[in-house]
Amino acid sequence: MSARDRIVLRDVELHALIGVYAHERAVPRRLRLQLELACDVRRAAATDTLADTLDYDAIVQRLRVLAVQERPALLETFAQRIAVVLQDEFGVAALRLRLEKPGAVPGAAWVGIALERGDWAG
């Protein structure tokens, strides 16, 4: 794999029941997800075939389902579960993700967690 190639998804909106406080768990919260997924795009570029690359629509749909199914207290837990799904179900060898929770802390636009998984050296 060429570690220089990446599929990038920005500002993916997810809705989840997440938080440690009761008021956070009453109504689904809006989360934003930033992703960089290592993916050698040479074959897809040559064949112009979706099957030869990461299907980012399928990824987003799967993560939206995960957001509804999971009910973690911590962003750290949900971010790790996202990373596991991307690696186990989509075969992503390396990824960077940032999960943002807008409005969680007064005076801050958002709080979040950033994870990096896998070998970017390829």
Active site amino acids: 101
CB–CB of 62/82 below 8 Å? no
Residue identified by tokens 């750290």 is 76
Alpha carbon distance 115, 93 (integer Å): 14
Cα distances from 65 to residues 70, 96, 116, in angstroms, run: 9, 20, 22
